[in-house]
Structure 1
């Protein structure tokens, strides 16, 4: 695997916020990092794709996926060095791969699959779709939220990854997340 795609190994509890667009992942990752006085890793794809859209009015293409994965991992590795005990990741390469399989018919990529196979996370918080959908330049599935949620959950189930569904407002999600984190 390319060096740029290798995950830094540290004794951290790494938790991924996972799920469909506009389901509260970023808000929750930031809030958890504040509660635990640690770092959270923003979604690299958001800035990358927004810049692409601003410059050319183009959306994601399969050729963007490796640069997105590299950017996400580099950001995660950088913040892992500063994190204390926990690192909250607002997405990971599995999220990128899941979206790719939704948007690009018959999508396969051995490099991304190897990343998913070799990267380690302690737990996934699957964010439910009970938050308001907020439109922006990149979000495009307001009427497919249930199907997207099922796709993300099926991904975790098929890969036998540990996860908890978080529902409700931010306060309720934080309370549930903290109770799960105590058990990790």
Structure 2
């Protein structure tokens, strides 16, 4: 069996990352790594404090590693430590050294960015606003550009997004 391609799915809040990951995992008969932040918020009943950020990112990264053995050709990762670092900049104006170091290890075969072109939906503690969504989207694109990380912007409704990813994965030899 060939190596598993680890795919990062990045984007602002309420831009369809989880929905896309779930659909792609079904399409490719594989597993995906849900966003740990959602579980953290649900289990603690609060949004993270600055001191929680590294632990959230570390858990996300550890779950990626644990999921690699169960993945079939591709592993879709709903967010990465890079997103946690970006949100640290949004809310606290800084990123601690441990989180920055973890976020610098962007070891993905492909990076997808979900466009903020779907309706913004408030989701309890997990959603801020349309304005924050647009600002974070711009930050994601800028950060990837600064780091020289190529990415594919996926847009439109879910079937359109899945077709866009299928086309890219076909080029990478995943059919």
Give, in angstroms, the shift of residue 144 of structure 1.
3.2
How do 1:14-29 residues align onto structure 2 when only pairs under 5 Å count? 14-29=6-21
SS in 2 for 1:144: helix
Task: Tell me if the contact between 1:123 and 1:161 (Cα under 8 Å) persists in the aligned partners.
Answer: no
Deviation at 1:59, TM superposition (A): 2.2
Displacement, 1:118? Answer: 3.0
SS in 2 for 1:74: helix
Q: Identify the match of residue 123 of structure 1 among 74, 88, 110.
A: 110
Query: Which of 116, 121, 125 does residue 134 from structure 1 map onto?
Result: 121
Shift of 1:85: 1.1
- CA distance in 2 between counterparts of 1:131 and 1:118 reads 29
After TM superposition, the score normalised by the length of structure 1 is: 0.87
Query: Unaligned regions of 5+ residues in structure 1, if any?
Result: 1-9
Deviates most, 24-33 or 139-148: 139-148
Gaps of 5+ in 2: none
| Cα distance in 2 for residues equivalent to 1:183 and 1:77 | 25
Could you tell me which residue of structure 2 aligns to residue 84 of structure 1?
72
Q: CA deviation at 1:76?
A: 1.2
Aligned to 1:152: 140
Q: Using the alignment, how far apart are the partners of 1:20 and 1:120 within structure 2?
A: 20
**Aligned to 1:73, which of 61, 65, 72?**
61
1:116-167 per-position Cα deviation (integer Å, ceiling 9, x unaligned): 2334101111101111111122211223332221111111111111201111
Counterpart in the other structure of 2:41: 49
Structure 1, 74-83 or 111-120: larger mean CA deviation: 111-120
Structure 1, 24-33 or 74-83: larger mean CA deviation: 74-83
Count of residues in Structure 1 that have an aligned counterpart in Structure 2: 170
CA contact (8 A) 1:29 1:88 kept: yes
Q: Structure 2 length as normaliser, TM-score?
A: 0.91
CA deviation after TM superposition for structure 1 residue 95, in Å = 0.9
